């Protein structure tokens, strides 16, 4: 699965780089990573009956979108935005917004970013079965 989505990322980067530069490459990688995570989530649900609650991934995704929006706004505010002199500060600003927003969310919600508390259907059935 990883190899397939790496091919998607490279193909997308090749297609988007000409028109959007570094932003296109970054978007292709982001899209591929998000698609791989969604695919993995669907496979976990189908084969192992593992339900990942939406609260586990929605806030990190929203904070990543906020960081990307800040980086994009900075890149496009400087015109062409294709050089490293603009891209690196914009990326650092986007990562800073992402990190700060994620930190605030973790503190406010009490969530932990480590995978925990997921129960497969098999384990749930065993726990509900009467003791013999």
Same domain, 57 and 43: no
CA angle 71, 96, 112 (to 5 degrees): 120
Tens of pLDDT, residue by residue over 39-90, are 988 898 888 887 777 777 788 888 988 998 998 888 888 875 567 788 888 8
Q: SS3 for 113?
A: coil
Mean pLDDT in residue range 3-31: 90
Domain that holds residue 24: 1-48
> Comparing 131 with 93, which gets the higher pLDDT?
93
DSSP 8-class letter at 48: H
Both tokens of 38, joined, read 């969604």
User: Is residue 37 domain-shared with residue 58, that is, in the same domain?
Assistant: no
The total number of structural domains that make up the chain: 2
HSE, CB side, 13 Å, CA atoms: give it for residue 79: 3
Same-domain check for residues 88 and 130: yes
Question: How many C-beta atoms lie closer than 10 Å to residue 64's C-beta?
Answer: 19
Chain mean pLDDT for the chain = 82
Whether 92 shows a pLDDT value over 60: the answer reads: yes
pLDDT digits (tens, 9 = 90+) for 5-16: 999 999 999 999
13 with 24: CB under 8 angstroms? Answer: yes
- What CA–CA distances, in Å, run from 74 to 20, 28, 48, 99, 132? 14, 19, 43, 17, 64
* Cut 0.85: pTM above it: no
Pair 43, 57 in one domain:
no
H-type helices in the chain, by residue range?
2-20, 22-48, 54-77, 84-109, 121-128
Radius of gyration of the chain (CA): 19
């Amino acid at each position: 699965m990883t190899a397939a989505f790496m091919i998607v990322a490279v193909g997308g980067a090749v297609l988007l780089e000409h028109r959007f530069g570094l932003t296109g490459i970054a978007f292709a990688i982001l899209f591929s990573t998000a698609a791989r995570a969604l695919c993995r989530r669907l496979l976990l649900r189908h084969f192992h009956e593992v339900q990942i609650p939406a609260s586990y991934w929605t806030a990190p995704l929203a904070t990543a979108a906020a960081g990307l929006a800040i980086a994009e706004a900075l890149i496009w505010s400087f015109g062409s935005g294709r050089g490293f002199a603009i891209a690196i500060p914009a990326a650092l600003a986007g990562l800073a917004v992402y990190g700060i927003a994620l930190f605030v969310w973790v503190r406010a919600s009490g969530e932990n970013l480590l995978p925990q508390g997921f129960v497969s259907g098999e384990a749930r059935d065993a726990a509900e079965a009467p003791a013999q």
